[in-house]
Amino acid sequence: MRAYSASSEEALRARDMLKDWAGEDFLTAEQYQRLEQETACDLRCTNVFLRLVLFLFTLVIIGAAVALFFIIFVSHPSDQTAGFFLLIFAALTYGAAEIAVSQARLYRYGIEEALAVCSVGFLCVGMQAAFVSGHSYSTLVPAGGAVLSLWIWHRFGFPYAALAAMIFLAWLPGHWTSSPSAQHLIVAGLYAGALATLAAVRPHDRSTYLDREYSIAEALLWIGIYLAINLQLSPLPLRDLWRSTHLTTDEFSSVFYWTTWVLTWCLPAVVLIRGLRRKDRFVIAAGALAAVLTLVTNKLYVGGKHHTWDPMLLGALLLGVAIFVRRWLANGQGGIRHGFTAERLSGKDKSWLSAGVATFGFLSPHMATPSPQSDSPEVHFGGGDSGGAGASSDF
């Protein structure tokens, strides 16, 4: 059961398409105005920047309100008492999210998203404090977080809720077995089961507003399966991928270790083929990302020697592939091959590129702005005693 009606979400999807087409001059002003009147809906939306601001402000307000409650009414509570109150706050924040959607008609507005996120956080922390306080993490906490995250994804359609559910599921095998091999297999099996379920459901909504949400979820599941089978990528931070440190077969059996190595080469091809056959850009992006990660981690797997020019060679390879694919598509009849083209057909591509450039510049400003130079040390000359034409330091 969705929190929004299908007609409202389809209307929003149609309005987004109309704005995109009008921005690319595919529609005249008269056509756009006439079609816009036919796609009116009562949902309240906002732009991505205000959405992010409202999300952060709502998180701050909720956190401050809960802290103030504990300071005024429940000072120095026990773990169980604090846990039960947090569970109550989890129910209240989720109920507030439902009200914000049903009464205020908020849609991707930031406020209802923050309320839903807080409900998951309060639920997990509350269960940890109320039921497993003084013990290590139990399966209750990640299982509860995964169930609520899945429900929020199904109910509201937030893509990051599906990602949160995957993260919670990844914690479960650690409580079931101490074998690293079994943990990797269980995580991959859980994601594969979810992927099979999604693949069975998705064809029925191929042409509806749900297709994009299912596409993002499928891409995330493919990436999750890849991370579960890539033994060199899973336990290492991304900053360590270019170092010489790597896992060995001592931590896993030789058969399991080298089987995962073969799978890291096979899985990206499978994902790319599925994405290309379905013309699914998110799945294609997942396959391309998995292929790049395979190239990055291959030397770690085989124990090869790393060089400082490895990233440069990888960048040159990716650049060459991109140029080849673009020219291959451009040389097709009308610049199209098998339904694919290198030409930009949507203004969303330009907006995504602009957002990516802005994000990259925000995250790494030092790469675009030179670092300030230190003041040059004071230079002391020798006094000019050796000056020519009879000159001296007293001259």
Residue 44 DSSP SS3 = strand
Q: How many residues does the chain have?
A: 395
Task: Report how far residue 320's alpha carbon sits from residue 183's, in angstroms, rounded to the nearest whole number.
Answer: 38
Helix%, strand%, coil% for the chain, nearest 5: 70, 0, 30
Residue 211 CB contacts under 8 Å (≥ 6 apart), including other chains: 202, 205
Of the candidates 70, 99, 102, the residue with the CA atom closest to the CA atom of residue 83: 70
Q: Are 296 and 318 in contact (CB under 8 A)?
A: no
| pLDDT, position 324 | 92
| pLDDT, position 27 | 78
First-to-last alpha carbon distance for the chain, in angstroms, is: 94
Q: Per DSSP, what are the bridge partners of residue 336? A: 341
Residue 312 CB contacts under 8 Å (≥ 6 apart), including other chains: none
Sign of CA dihedral 252, 258, 264, 270: negative
| pLDDT, position 236 | 42
Q: Per DSSP, what are the bridge partners of residue 340? A: 337
Residue 201 CB contacts under 8 Å (≥ 6 apart), including other chains: 214
Per-residue model confidence as pLDDT tens for the chain (395 residues): 899 998 899 988 888 888 777 776 777 778 878 877 878 888 999 999 999 999 999 999 999 999 999 999 988 888 899 999 999 999 999 999 999 999 999 999 999 999 999 999 999 999 999 887 655 557 889 999 999 999 999 999 999 999 999 999 999 998 888 898 999 999 999 999 999 999 999 888 888 889 999 999 999 999 999 999 999 886 544 334 434 444 555 678 899 999 999 999 999 999 999 999 999 999 999 999 999 999 999 998 988 888 888 889 999 999 999 999 999 988 888 888 888 888 776 666 565 555 555 555 555 554 444 445 555 455 555 555 555 555 554 54
Long-range contacts of 62-66 (CB under 8 A, 24+ apart): 62/93, 62/114, 62/115, 62/118, 66/122
What amino acid is encoded at 112 in this protein? E
Q: Are 41 and 11 in contact (CB under 8 A)?
A: yes
Rounded to two decimals, the pTM is 0.82
**What DSSP state is assigned to residue 106?**
B
**What DSSP state is assigned to residue 382?**
-
| pLDDT, position 337 | 87
Q: With 0-12 CB in 10 A as exposed, 13-18 as middle and 19+ as buried, what is 197?
A: exposed
| pLDDT, position 135 | 56
DSSP letters, 10-28, are HHHHHHHHHHHHHHTTSS-
- Three-class DSSP labels, 340-361: EECCCCCHHHHHHHHHHHHHHH
Cα angle 291, 294, 298 (rounded to 5 degrees) comes to 150
Q: Per DSSP, what are the bridge partners of residue 341? A: 336
| pLDDT, position 348 | 61
Question: Two tokens at 325?
Answer: 């694919």
